[in-house]
Amino acid sequence: MSDEQQRATRNEETSRLPQQPPDHGALEPRTPNLPLPLPNTPGQAAAPPRRVALFFVSVPTAILAFAVLLILIGAAFYGGLKLRPTSAAATTAATTTAPSRQPSPQTSASTPPSPTGGAAVGSPSAQPSSAPTSAAASVSAGSAAVASGTVIAQYKGLNLPINEGIPFQAGKAPTPTTNTSAMDLQYASYYTAFYTTTGTLALLQNTAPTYQQCVGDTIRNTDLNPVQAHESVCYVGANVVAIATVDSYNSLAGTYYATLDVTVWQK
Q: How many whole angstroms separate alpha carbon 262 and alpha carbon 171?
A: 12
pLDDT digits (tens, 9 = 90+) for 130-149: 333 444 444 444 445 789 99
Residue 236: beta bridge partners? 200, 241
What total number of domains does the chain contain?
1
pTM: 0.48
The verdict on residue 124 lying in a domain is no
| 5 domain residue, yes or no | no
Question: What residue ranges of the chain have pLDDT lower than 70?
Answer: 1-2, 13-57, 80-144
Which domain does 241 fall in, by range?
A: 155-266
pLDDT tens string 204-237: 998 789 999 999 999 999 999 999 999 999 999 9
Instruction: Give the model confidence (pLDDT) of 189-213 as tens digits.
Output: 888 999 999 999 999 998 789 999 9
Q: Where are the beta strands (DSSP E) in the chain?
A: 151-161, 165-166, 185-187, 194-195, 200-204, 223-224, 232-236, 240-252, 255-266
